Amino acid sequence: MGGGNGGRPWVEMRGIHKWFGGVHALKGVDFHVHRGEVVGLIGDNGAGKSTLIKILSGVFPPDKGEILIEGRRVRFRSPKDAKEYGIETVYQELALVDNLDVPANIFLGREPALVGGRGLFALLHKGRMLREARALLERLKVNIGDLTSLAGELSGGQRQTVAIARALYTEPKLLIMDEPTAALAVQETRKVLDLVRKLRERDIGVVFISHTLQEVFAVADRIVILRKGEKVGDLPAAALTVDEAVKLMVGGEGA
Amino acid sequence: MDIKAWLKRINRNRVLFPLGALALLVIVAASLSPHFLTPMNIKNVLSQVSIIAILAAGEACVILTGGIDLSVGAVLAISGSITAVLMKWVGAAIPLAILGGLGAGALAGALNGLMVAWVRIPSFIATLAMMAVARGGTLVLTNGRPVSGFLKSFRAIAGYAGPLPLLFLITFGVYVLWQLALSHTRFGRYVYAVGGNETGTRFVGVNVRRVKLLVFILAGLCAAIGGIMLDARLNAAYPTAGEGYELDAIAAAVLGGVSLSGGVGSLVGTFFGALVMTVLGNILNLLKVGAFYQYIAKGLILAVAAISLSRGIKFAK
């Protein structure tokens, strides 16, 4: 458990290329994550981080290259496909619906029904949603307080926690976190980082993207650095300093 | 649940404001006119509110998803006319004629929904186009003349069940069903979710287009019910029926606490909002205030309501 070096990675991306019009956004990037491993993905704006994780989460397909899960080649036609394989994503902005309460957000799009099954007019099982939401948050050891609060009434850290909890409800194998701490205060950031560490204990792989390198170094087992669509570094976090990482990111000549 | 949490929940749906406004209006009306609280006048108010309220039910739902439907008045007219024409000129049986009217309303709503959700025309423009087409269609269909003189059994729709107008019972039934759908079904949840964060809702895999389409179809159906109710009440389908009703419907929803930016409000509030609009018109009539001034009064009330509601934040605390 944990660490996850050696052995076959859970997910592997090989030789990924992506063009947007004339822009060559990814130039043959290899990327992999083991179960229970936290991989920090860093790079300057436009380095290709978002493009890479959007391919991994099924938002769009690579133009060249392949994705393997447990050694088998897969193709994602939509984020739904990726979810079915156990890849969940927490987005920075799109996360929550502010005018719905916590359980409603956690179960949005997969509400349990009293009667009516999968139908649009199925009666909601609100009691079960509240119970399971509470149980889920307790398992993650996070405290939201009144679960009937609307998401818009929560603090930034609580919102992010709920967004992560929502992604974890389906027991994913890999969680992609795109700038999960961007809008958070120091204290709240610490809570999110604690949560990431708990995911490692639960043997979930994490891809953690952040502009704050200190955060990445605080949680990541391994750090992957992109620059202008190419992978320029892939090292254990312990073998790298923040200064070295910055040099790789910006490509300083004297590096 | 303690009282504070309970009040917070009530207030979240923003029904306190329209309820308070209604109570105040009733007190003022009762003290200004001895006729206001007579059974005759109350029945009259309940009949009047039925048609505006049913349009407002559909309108509120569209607004909850963050859209707007300007075509409900014109769809009321074309549905009412189709039902009337089927009965008077085609000689269709009453249930068939009613089905024809409802079908026309649903079709108009579906076209609105397709324009908004698939072609991505802003709802303001799409339904403005529908408003023009439906009004024109009504005039073409009827040659611009009223179609009148229906069978007694059809006019019975505007009759009474005991002391209560049937029209009111129909509207009330629609409201109960619809409020239940909004608060207790997946559909209702998605209506609020789409209004609150459309992109986020799409991202979790909800079929947002289908929700929008359905909401417009329901608004068209409500308008059609309103048109048939108005036929029965007036014993005629006027091609100009429902002109300006879309504004009354929007006003009722806004007065009832439905946020124009979507995601906030309820049908309960909308119902009170419709009552406020109707009672206001009624008391101005009783006080013999001219129709021209009534427009101004309604506009002012709406402005005051909008100001006091916008003081609250978008997601009521």
Sheet with A38-43: list strands edge to edge.
A87-90, A174-178, A205-209, A38-43, A222-227, A230-236
User: For residue A81, which residues of chain B lie inside 8 Å, CB to CB?
Assistant: none
Q: Report, as an integer, the average pLDDT of A139-151.
A: 85
Site of tokens 């309501």: B305
User: Which of A79, A91, A111 is nearest residue B186 as measured by Cβ atoms?
Assistant: A111
pLDDT digits (tens, 9 = 90+) for B44-92: 999 999 999 999 999 999 999 999 999 999 999 999 999 999 999 999 9
Beta strands in chain A (DSSP E): 11-20, 23-33, 38-43, 64-69, 72-74, 87-90, 113-115, 123-124, 174-178, 205-209, 222-227, 230-236
Q: For the domain bounded by A11-86+172-250, which CATH number is listed?
A: 3.40.50.300
B-chain residues within 8 Å CB-CB of A100?
189, 192-193, 196
More confident residue, B244 or B228: B228
- Hey, where are the domains in chain B? 37-311
A96 → chain B, closest CA residue: B200
Residue A1 has pLDDT above 50, yes or no: no
> Does pLDDT of B313 surpass 50?
no
Question: Looking at the DSSP assignment, which residues form a beta bridge with residue A69?
Answer: A11, A72
| B210 contact residues in A (CB cutoff 8 A) | 120
Task: Tell me the nearest-neighbour CA distance from B193 into chain A, angstroms.
Answer: 6
Q: What is the rounded average pLDDT of the residues A96-101? A: 92
Q: How confident is the model at residue B212 (pLDDT cuts 50, 70, 90)?
A: very high
pLDDT digits (tens, 9 = 90+) for A7-49: 889 999 999 999 998 899 999 999 999 999 999 999 998 899 9
Distant-in-sequence, close-in-space partners of B181: CB < 8 Å, separation ≥ 6: A121, B187, B188
Q: Would the pTM of this model clear 0.90, i.e. be above it?
A: no
The torsion angles phi and psi of B167, rounded to 5 degrees, stand at -55, -40
**Reported CATH class of domain B37-311:** mainly alpha
Name, of A3-17, A169-183, B122-136, the range with top average pLDDT. B122-136
How large is the average pLDDT for residues A153-179?
88
Does the CB of B143 have a partner CB in chain A at under 8 Å? no
Task: Look at residue A3 in the predicted model and tell me its pLDDT.
Answer: 45
d(CA A42, CA B74): 57
Residue A184: the pLDDT is: 81
CB B210 to CB A97 under 8 A?
no
Q: Taking all residues of chain A, what is their mean pLDDT, rounded to a whole number?
A: 89
- Which member of B9, B186, B201 has the closest CB to residue A124? B186
pLDDT of A38:
96
pLDDT at A186: 85
Show residues of chain B in contact with A126, CB under 8 Å. 184
pLDDT tens digits along B159-172: 999 889 999 999 99
Domain boundaries, chain A: 11-86+172-250
Considering only CB atoms, which chain B residues are within 8 Å of A153? 315, 317
B201/A80 CB distance under 8 A = no
* Pairwise CB contact (< 8 Å): B192 & A109: no
Q: What percent of chain A has pLDDT over 90?
A: 60
Question: How high is the ipTM of this complex?
Answer: 0.86
